[in-house]
Structure 1
Amino acid sequence: MFIGILIDPIIPPLIVQVTDNRGRKSKYLRALWRCHNRRVPTDALPSRSHPAGAPSTRAPQPGELAVVLDQLGLASLPEQVTHVRTLPARRAETAPWPSWAHPRVVEAYQNLGVAEPYLHQVQAATAAHESPGNRHVILATGTASGKSLAYQLPALDAIYRGEFEAQASGFDSGRATTLYLSPTKALAADQLASLRALGLPGLVAESYDGDTPQADRRFIRERANFILANPDMLHHAILPNHARWAGFLRKLKYVVVDEAHGYRGVFGAHVSLLMRRLRRVCRYYGATPVFIGASATSAEPAESFARLIGSRPTAVTAITESTAPRGATHVLLWEPEFTDAAAVNDKLSAHANGVSVRPGALGNGAGENGAPVRKSVITQSAEMLTDLVVNRTRTISFIKSRRGAEAIAQTAGRYLDEVEPGLSTRIAAYRAGYLPEERRALEASLRRGEILGVASTNALELGIDIAGLDAVLVGGWPGTRASFYQQIGRAGRAGQDTFAVLIASEDPLDTYLVHHPEDIFDRPVEKTVFDPENPYVLSPHLCAAAAEIPLRREELMVFGRTTEALLGRLVEQGYLRQRATGWFWTHPESASDFVNLRGGGSPLQIIDCETGAVIGSMDDGHAHSQGHPGAIYTHQGKTYVVEDLDEDNKVIAVSAVSPDYYTQSRDITEVTVLGAEETRQQGQVSLNYGRVRVRSQVVGYQRKSLVGQQVLGDEPLDLAPQELQTRAIWWTIPATLLHAAGIHERDIPGALHAAEHAAIGLLPLVATCDRWDIGGLSTAFHIDTEQPTIFVYDGHPGGAGFAERGFEQVGHWLRATLDTILACECELGCPSCVQSPKCGNRNEPLHKAGAARLLAALLVEADELTDEERRRLLKPLGPAVENPVAGATAAESYAVGSRVEGEPAPADVAESLTGFAATDDPF
C-alpha cells in the first residue's frame, strides 16, 4: 500500500490492495500508472484507429464494464485496450415438442429438465425427420445454442421406434442406426455422456475410436445402434472392413457431422472425399442416410455442407437463426505494451514529474535486429489468468500452439505460488498429444469445477459441455471469425453475462484486427475453404474407394471432373488395374494406409531418456520444426529438450530441463514456377495463380527468452531438405515501377521481403488458414520470371485453396496489409508488421518504408483503392504514390514528386518516414 500512496494518494483502494496482496509490484506499478494516467470513457469506446462512426453492436454500459475491470484487477481501461464491444443478450424462443417425436423420447428429455425445445432445434430436427435420403440438413448457429438435441431427437426417435417395433414383431427390418462423427475424441466422449444420461430403453450408444479396446469392438459392431466415432476410424477401421459392418450400415438412417465448419484446408478435402466414400458404401448395402451437419455460424452453410458431403446445395436445408438464450458478452481487444524497460522507466519518471508521454514512444528495442517487442501473448495471458483465478473466475485461456498452452499454465502456476499457493494446483493445460487417460481425467476435473483456469489449444474450442465458465482469454487471433466466436462462446453457457479478451500476438494480422474491430464484428463469417479435387488428396482416396468396392465409370463424377484422368495415371503407375467392369485395387496392402487424413504423416513417439516412458507424440510434419535436436518441448507443465530426432524409427528422445527460453526453427526456401493457371495484368504488374515446386530446409533455430522474447542465440541444424508441389499466387513487378514508386535500387530486396512477410501475415484475414499453413519467397530477380517477384504459396502438397482465395480477394488482402504496416508504431519494422518468426534469412534485409510504397504501387496499378482509401492509405507515403498524373504512364505518374538518390525527401514524406533507414545489404 505504501508504494501506491507514494505514487498518488487518490489511486483507488482496489488496485492498491491487488498490488499489496500479490507481491508482483513491478507489474502492477505499471498497471497503476497506465490506469490512472489514461481515463477512458466507459459509455462508448470506439477503436483508437478507426472512426467513431464505425458499425457497432453496442457499447458496454459503465456498470457492465466495471465488473469486467474488477475481475481483471483494473480500475479503468488501460491504453492496451483498443476497443470494447458488447454482444447483447438474447432471449429464448421455445416451441412445442414435434408431434412426430415418440412420447418416450420426449419424456427422457423432460426428465433431464428440457420442458420444451428451442424453435431452431425443432426446425432442424423436423427437417431431418422429414428428409428422404437425398436431402440433408445443416444447423449453423452459435456456441451453446443446443445443436445436440436437434440431431439427437430424430436419431433417437428412429432408433426407439425401430427397436420397439422389432421387439413386437420379431423382425429387425425397421431397426435404425446412427453414425456420429466428431473431429476430436473429447467431443465424442462428451456426446456419449449426454446420450447415456437420457436412460432411453433400447439405445445402445458406444464410442468407437483409437482408445476402444479390441475386446469391445466386435460387440460395438454387432450391437450398437448409435456409434460415436471420428473420421480417422471411419477411414481406417469401418470402410475398409465394411463387410463386417454390413448390419450397421444397412440400417444407417442418419450420419451426424459435428463441428462441420472445422473441416477446411487439406483436412477438409480429405473428409469431403471420405464422406463420398461412405455414401457410396451405404448405397452398396441399400442405405441412403440423411446427413445432419452441426456447425458454428458460417458463410453459405448449405453450399459448404453440400461440398463436404458430395451433394447439391439445393439438396441441403440450412437452419441459421438461433433461438437459444444467451447472456451478454463484453469483448475487449487488447494490444500488449512494448517491453522496453527504458521506456517503462521513462514513463514512470515522466508521470511523477507531471509530463505526458506520447503513446508508443520507445527506447532501444530488444528483439531481432534491434526491433521493439511487445509483451508476449503467453506472458500477458498468464498474468490475466492469474488475476482471474485469484478472483475465483473460472476461465479458459486459448492459444494456438501446444507449447503455448503448456507455457501459460506453467507461468500462471508460478505466479499463483507467489500469491496464493493453494490455487496453483487448480490450473491445468489441455491439448492434443496427451495420453488418453490424461485427457479423460482433465475433462472430468473441468466438468466438476475442480479446475479454475485451463490453458488450452483449440481442442476445447469445440462443443464439450463445460458449464459455469465466466471468462475467456483468446491468446492471438485463432484464424477465423468462426473459431473466435466459438472460443468466446465457451463461457456464459448457463445464460449469465460474461466477458472475453482477445490478446494480440506479435503478428501483422493481430495488429490489424485489434485496430480494425469492424473486420471482426461487422463482417460475415468466412466461407470454408477446401479443395476435394486436389490430385494429391484425391488420388489415394480413389485407391481406397476401389479397394472398398471396385469403381464403375458411372459413379466417377461423384469424385470430381478430374477423376478419370487421375485413374488413368494410377493405372499407369500400377496402383490400380482397369477391367471392363471398372477399376480395381489388387495389392495386398491396405489402400487406406496410403491416406493420412490430417496431413501430418505418421506420428513420432516422444520418449523420456531417463525413464524410457512415452510421454506424448508428434506428427512427422512438425518433426523438423518442433522436434529437432535442441528444441524445447513442454508436456503437462514439465519442460524437456530434444536430444535426438530418429526419423527412421519414429522416435524423439527428450531430457527434462528447466530453461528460461523457448526455441523457434528457421528454414530456407526455393520456388520453381511449373505453370500459371490464371494471370491478370494489372497495369505493369502481372498477378498470377498456378503450380509451383517448393524446396525447403530447416537450417537452424533461435533461442528466445520467455520474458521479453529477446534473441539469446542462433544454432545451426543439418536436416534433409523437403520438397512439395503446390499452388501459389505471385506478383512480378518491373524494377522501373519500383524505382518510380520511390524505392531505391539498394532497397528493393528489403522492400520485397518485408511486403512478402506482411502479406503472409494478413492472408488469414481472407482465407481460412493459419500463418503456418502458408509460406513465401521474395527475390529481386527470379530465374523463371526474370523480374522482381513475390510468391505466397500453400504449405500442403497440391495446394489447400488458400492461395486461390488470396487471388480472389487480392484487393482486400493488400489493403489490409498496407494498412497494418502504416499503422504499426515501430520505426524500422517489428514482429507486429514486417518481421516473421519463421524467416530463414533472420529477417534481413527488411525495408518497412519500401514495403509500404511497393504495396501502394500494387494497389494503384490494380485500381483497387476507393477515393477514401486513397486519401487514408497513400497520403503518408507522399506525392510519389498519392497523386498519379492523369493520362500519364504508370511510371511517369509515380515519378511526380518522387525523389532521386541523394535528394532530400519532401517535408511530409520525411515526417511520416522518420527513422526508416535503408539497408546497405549488398544482396
Structure 2
Amino acid sequence: MSGTRITVTVVSSPAQHLAVLTSQGRGDRLLHVERLPAREARLAQWPAEVAPVVLSALLAGGIERPWSHQRSAMDLALAGRHVVLATGTASGKSLGYLVPMLSAAAEGAATPGRRGATALYLSPTKALAADQLARIEALAVPGVRAATYDGDTPPDERRWVREHANVVLTNPDLLHHSLLPGHERWSRFLRALTHVVVDECHVYRGVFGSHVASVLRRLRRVAARYGSSPTFVLASATVSDPAAHASALVGMPVAAVTEDGSPRGAMTFALWEPSADEEGSRRSATTEAAEILAGLVLDGVQTVAFARSRAGAEALATSARRRVELDDPTGAGGIAAYRGGYLPQDRRELEGRLRSGDVRGLAATNALELGIDVSGLDAVVMAGWPGRRASLWQQAGRAGRAGEESLAVLVAADDPLDTYLVRHPEAIFGAPVETTVMDPFNPHVLGPHLAAAAAELPVGEQDLSMFGPDARRLLDALVTKGILRRRPAGWFWAREDRPADHISLRGVNDVVAVVETRTGRVLGTIDEAAAHSQAHTGAVHVHQGDTWVVTDLDLESRAAHVVRGDPGWSTSAQSVSRFDILDRERSVRRARAEVSFGSVRVTTQVTGFIRRLPSGEVIGTHPLDLPERSLATRAVWWTVPEEVLEASGVDPARVPGALHAAEHAAIGMLPLVATSDRWDVGGVSTALHPDTGLPTVMVFDGYPGGAGFAERGFTAFETWVRATRDAVLGCGCATGCPACVQSPKCGNGNDPLDKAGAVTVLELALAPATG
C-alpha cells in the first residue's frame, strides 16, 4: 500500500538486503534465490604491437595489465582479423578495441605532415559515443584527435571533424544519412580507414539489425572505392553465437572472444512475485519494484530499477520517491527517472549525478542497459522480465562495485511468461542466452538499401555477392519501378532525390515533439506511432516525474501540446485491428488445427481512450478520430474449425473470448522461443476470418517486412504453445488475470476473454497429426 512505512535499517550484504526486503510479512513474495559465485581475474601482458604512446597513456591511467579476453581481442585486431568481443557487463570490452584503434591512429599521426590512419566508432546511441569520447580524451594519447559526429554536432565543427579528426565516433544513422551519401567529402578519412568498431552489436537485431547490416556493407563498398579495407572490431553482450551474429552483420567471417577474464564479485539473484489481493489480482511489478527500490535507497544501497516502458519508468520513480518521503523527506530528491525521449542535456546531467552518487535510486528504461559507464552500483531491480536472457544479464551486470557482492531482483509482471519464469528458475539460470534473430537479406529492407548503394556508387556485378542471393532480382525490380537504370557498367540511381532520406533504420519515420503549450518549450519527443496511443488529445503524459495532459495532438506539424497538471486519473488507448493474409508461405496440418506462416497486412486504428482512477476503476470512455496505420509484415497463425471447437465444449458464443485469450497468452510466451518481448509483436484473433474461413489466431512481427520472431514461433510451435498452455493452466486465478490471459497492450480492453476456452484452443493446436 502507498502509505506503508519502510523501516530504515543499515545493512551491508545482499543477504541482509533481502532479509530486510522480505520482512514485515513479505517473505512469501521471494520465490527463489540464486547465488552466483565470484570470478577471479585472469591477467595477460600487453601486446608488443601496442604503440608506445598508447602504452604510456594506459600505464599512466593505472591500467597496468589487460585481462585475458582483452588481450585476445587485441591480438586478433592487431593482426587484421575481424573479431567480436562478447563478454559480460563491465568486463572492459572497450579496451579490446580502443588499444588497436588508438595505436593505429597514434602511429600514423607521428609522421610529420600526415593525417595517418583513421578509425570509425559506431554505437547505437549518442550517449554511448559521448561516453567513449570521454574515455579517449582521458587517456590523452599524443596524436589522437577524436571527435563525435552526429545530429547534435554544429555545422562549423563538422568540417573540422571531416578534415582533421582521426577517430570519429558516430552512429549507424548518421553513417547512413550523411557520411555514405556524402562520401566524397570524407575521401581523405576513408582512404586512411583501418578500423571500424561496432559497439553493443547485440542491439542490432530484428529489422534494425537488417538495416545496419546493409549500412555496413555499403560502408565496406565505399571504403574499397578509396582503397581501404578496414578491420572490424565488434563488442557485444553475451549472446548464444556472437561469431555468427557478427559475421551476418558485416558480411565477412568474424572470430569470437567469449572467455571472460575480468574479476567479478559474487551476486545474489532473487526472483520475486508480487502478492495478490483478496480478489486474486496481483500488485503490478511497477508498484512492487518501487517499494523495493525505496527500501534499498533508505538502506544506503545505490540502485537502478529497470522498467519495460517509458511510462513505467516515470511511474516507478514517482512511487519510490513518495515512499522515501515518508521516512526521509530529504532523500526523495535522490531518486530520478531516466529514459529515451529526454533532451540530451537532461540525460547527461542524470548520468553525472548517478556516477557522483547524488542519485541513489534511478528508475530507467533499457536506454541505460547499454554500455554507458554507470557500472559499479550496489543493486539492480527489474520490474518485469526484460524480454531476453541477454538483456536480463546485461541489466543485472550493472550491479557490482569493484568486485564487491551485489544484488539483483527480478520482479514478475502480470504476464504469463514472467509468472512461468519466476516459478521455473531453471528456465533462467539453467538456460543459455537466446539466438539473436537478424536477417541481413530481408528483401523489404535490402531493396531500399541497394537503391541507396547505387546512388553512392553504381552497383556492379562484383558487388552482388556482398548483398546476398536476391540482390540481382531486387535490383532488376528497382529498374522496373524506374528507381534505377541498368547500364553495361551496372545499376545506376535514376532520380533526383536522395534514397537514404526514404529509409528509417529504426522503423521510426517521424517523431512528435512534446511541447509545453504555455511557453513553447520542447519537453521531449515520442515516435509518431506511439503518439497515437500515448500522446493523443486527452492523454495523461508523465515526464521526469511531472504529470502533463495532452490538449492537442497535431500530426501534421508533429507536435503534442501539453499543460502541466495531474487530473487524478491515468489514460489508456483503445484500438481496433484487422489483418489480411497476403501469402501463405508454409503450412503444417495437425490433427485438429492447421498452422501457417507467411506475409500479412495488419491495419490498426486508435479509436478512443479510457480514463482510470488509481484504484483501476474506469470513469470514462472517449472516442478519438485518428487515421489508420498499416503494416506489411510476417505472421504465424493457426486455425481450428468451429465444429471441432464446439465438439470440445467451446460453443459459438464462447469462441471469440477463447481465441482472444489464447492470442494474449501466446504473445506473452513467444519470448520463450524467440528473441522478442511482448512489445516486439502483435496479435489478432477472429471467430471467422475472410481469408481462412475459420476461427483464427495470429501473432505477427511488429516491424515492416518482419523481424524473424513469428517465423521462430512457427518452427518452434509445439514448444511455444505447450508452454503457453501450461502457463495458463498453472495460473491460480479463476477466470483470467494479467498473469495469464490479460494483456497490458490490448486495444479492446481485454474483452472478451475466456480462460477455460483458451486452454481448449491451445490443446487443440497441440494435438499431433495422426498417421
Alignment-mate amino acid for residue 63 of structure 2: V
Contact 1:373 1:709 in 2 (8 A): no
Task: Give the structure 2 partner of residue 720 of structure 1.
Answer: 627
Q: Secondary structure at 1:244's aligned position in 2?
A: helix
Name the CA shift for 1:389/1:64 in 2 (closer, same or farther; >3 Å).
closer
> Within the alignment, does 1:215 sit opposite 2:156 as a pair?
yes
Task: Give the structure 2 partner of residue 795 of structure 1.
Answer: 702
Q: Which moved more, 1:204-213 or 1:118-127?
A: 204-213
Task: Give the structure 2 partner of residue 227 of structure 1.
Answer: 168
Question: Structure 1 residue aligned with 2:673, among 750, 766, 772?
Answer: 766
Task: Give the structure 2 partner of residue 687 of structure 1.
Answer: 595
CA deviation after TM superposition for structure 1 residue 25, in Å = 6.0
| 2-structure distance, mates of 1:255, 1:123 | 18
CA deviation after TM superposition for structure 1 residue 64, in Å = 5.9
Cα deviation digits, residues 176-205 of structure 1 (max 9, x gap): 111111111111111111111111100111
Task: Give the structure 2 partner of residue 261 of structure 1.
Answer: 202
Q: Secondary structure at 2:596's aligned position in 1?
A: strand
Alignment-mate amino acid for residue 311 of structure 2: R
Alignment-mate amino acid for residue 826 of structure 1: C
Task: Give the structure 2 partner of residue 69 of structure 1.
Answer: 18
After TM superposition, the structure 1 = structure 2 runs for residues 543-582 of structure 1, keeping only pairs within 5 Å, are 543-582=451-490
Contact 1:136 1:317 in 2 (8 A): yes
Cα deviation digits, residues 121-169 of structure 1 (max 9, x gap): 10111011112xxx410111111111011111111121122122x13xx
Contact 2:460 2:489 in 1 (8 A): yes
Contact 1:600 1:622 in 2 (8 A): no
> Within the alignment, does 1:140 sit opposite 2:86 as a pair?
yes
| 1-structure distance, mates of 2:104, 2:14 | 48
After TM superposition, the structure 1 = structure 2 runs for residues 865-880 of structure 1, keeping only pairs within 5 Å, are none
CA deviation after TM superposition for structure 1 residue 816, in Å = 1.5
Task: Give the structure 2 partner of residue 78 of structure 1.
Answer: 27
Task: Give the structure 2 partner of residue 913 of structure 1.
Answer: none
For normalisation by structure 2, the TM-score amounts to 0.96
| 1-structure distance, mates of 2:85, 2:375 | 22
Q: Which moved more, 1:413-422 or 1:249-258?
A: 413-422
> Within the alignment, does 1:196 sit opposite 2:137 as a pair?
yes
Name the CA shift for 1:720/1:76 in 2 (closer, same or farther; >3 Å).
closer
Task: Give the structure 2 partner of residue 330 of structure 1.
Answer: 268
Query: Deviation above 6 Å: which 4+ runs of structure 1?
Result: none
Task: Give the structure 2 partner of residue 124 of structure 1.
Answer: 73
> Within the alignment, does 1:536 sit opposite 2:474 as a pair?
no
After TM superposition, the structure 1 = structure 2 runs for residues 157-196 of structure 1, keeping only pairs within 5 Å, are 157-164=103-110, 166-167=111-112, 170=113, 175-196=116-137
Task: Give the structure 1 partner of residue 233 of structure 2.
Answer: 292
CA deviation after TM superposition for structure 1 residue 740, in Å = 4.1
Cα deviation digits, residues 77-129 of structure 1 (max 9, x gap): 61111211122110001011112222332221111111111011101110111
Q: Secondary structure at 1:79's aligned position in 2?
A: helix
Task: Give the structure 2 partner of residue 808 of structure 1.
Answer: 715
CA deviation after TM superposition for structure 1 residue 26, in Å = 4.2
Q: Which moved more, 1:618-627 or 1:325-334?
A: 618-627
Contact 2:593 2:764 in 1 (8 A): no
Task: Give the structure 2 partner of residue 89 of structure 1.
Answer: 38
Cα deviation digits, residues 450-508 of structure 1 (max 9, x gap): 11111111111111112541000111111111111000000104111000111111122
| 2-structure distance, mates of 1:469, 1:751 | 45
Question: Structure 2: which 5+ runs fail to align?
Answer: none
> Within the alignment, does 1:270 sit opposite 2:216 as a pair?
no
Contact 2:303 2:361 in 1 (8 A): yes
Q: Secondary structure at 2:599's aligned position in 1?
A: strand
Q: Which moved more, 1:242-251 or 1:206-215?
A: 206-215
Name the CA shift for 1:840/1:637 in 2 (closer, same or farther; >3 Å).
closer
After TM superposition, the structure 1 = structure 2 runs for residues 481-560 of structure 1, keeping only pairs within 5 Å, are 481-560=389-468
Alignment-mate amino acid for residue 257 of structure 2: I
Alignment-mate amino acid for residue 693 of structure 1: R
Cα deviation digits, residues 297-335 of structure 1 (max 9, x gap): 101111111111122xxx211111101000111111111
Alignment-mate amino acid for residue 154 of structure 2: P
> Within the alignment, does 1:701 sit opposite 2:609 as a pair?
yes
Task: Give the structure 1 partner of residue 638 of structure 2.
Answer: 731
Contact 2:6 2:327 in 1 (8 A): no
Alignment-mate amino acid for residue 290 of structure 1: T
| 1-structure distance, mates of 2:2, 2:563 | 32
Q: Secondary structure at 1:523's aligned position in 2?
A: coil
Alignment-mate amino acid for residue 184 of structure 1: T
Contact 1:552 1:582 in 2 (8 A): yes
Task: Give the structure 2 partner of residue 873 of structure 1.
Answer: none
Contact 1:211 1:436 in 2 (8 A): no
Task: Give the structure 2 partner of residue 831 of structure 1.
Answer: 738
After TM superposition, the structure 1 = structure 2 runs for residues 13-32 of structure 1, keeping only pairs within 5 Å, are 26=4
Contact 2:549 2:566 in 1 (8 A): no
CA deviation after TM superposition for structure 1 residue 539, in Å = 2.2
Larger Rg: 1
Alignment-mate amino acid for residue 53 of structure 2: R
Contact 1:413 1:427 in 2 (8 A): yes
Name the CA shift for 1:710/1:278 in 2 (closer, same or farther; >3 Å).
farther
| 2-structure distance, mates of 1:303, 1:815 | 29
| 1-structure distance, mates of 2:414, 2:298 | 27
After TM superposition, the structure 1 = structure 2 runs for residues 908-923 of structure 1, keeping only pairs within 5 Å, are none
Task: Give the structure 2 partner of residue 109 of structure 1.
Answer: 58
CA deviation after TM superposition for structure 1 residue 63, in Å = 10
Alignment-mate amino acid for residue 121 of structure 1: Q
Contact 1:376 1:709 in 2 (8 A): no
Question: Structure 2 residue aligned with 1:236, among 137, 155, 177?
Answer: 177
Contact 1:818 1:856 in 2 (8 A): yes
Alignment-mate amino acid for residue 709 of structure 2: F
Alignment-mate amino acid for residue 565 of structure 1: R
Task: Give the structure 2 partner of residue 368 of structure 1.
Answer: none
| 2-structure distance, mates of 1:427, 1:65 | 21
Cα deviation digits, residues 733-760 of structure 1 (max 9, x gap): 1234323434334322222111111001
Q: Secondary structure at 1:675's aligned position in 2?
A: strand
CA deviation after TM superposition for structure 1 residue 570, in Å = 2.0
Name the CA shift for 1:690/1:116 in 2 (closer, same or farther; >3 Å).
same
Contact 1:645 1:653 in 2 (8 A): yes
> Within the alignment, does 1:438 sit opposite 2:346 as a pair?
yes
Q: Secondary structure at 1:829's aligned position in 2?
A: coil
Q: Which moved more, 1:443-452 or 1:121-130?
A: 443-452
Task: Give the structure 2 partner of residue 601 of structure 1.
Answer: 509
Alignment-mate amino acid for residue 96 of structure 1: Q
| 2-structure distance, mates of 1:334, 1:404 | 18
Q: Secondary structure at 1:115's aligned position in 2?
A: coil
Name the CA shift for 1:493/1:308 in 2 (closer, same or farther; >3 Å).
farther
Contact 1:831 1:837 in 2 (8 A): yes
Alignment-mate amino acid for residue 465 of structure 1: D
Contact 1:394 1:468 in 2 (8 A): no
| 2-structure distance, mates of 1:715, 1:376 | 25
Contact 2:207 2:438 in 1 (8 A): yes
| 1-structure distance, mates of 2:718, 2:739 | 21
Alignment-mate amino acid for residue 327 of structure 1: G
Tell me the number of residue pairs that the alignment of Structure 1 and Structure 2 aligns.
770
Name the CA shift for 1:210/1:110 in 2 (closer, same or farther; >3 Å).
same
Cα deviation digits, residues 766-803 of structure 1 (max 9, x gap): 22222122111222222211222111111222111110
Alignment-mate amino acid for residue 378 of structure 2: D
Task: Give the structure 2 partner of residue 817 of structure 1.
Answer: 724
| 1-structure distance, mates of 2:164, 2:570 | 50
Alignment-mate amino acid for residue 176 of structure 1: A
Task: Give the structure 1 partner of residue 750 of structure 2.
Answer: 843
Contact 1:685 1:861 in 2 (8 A): no
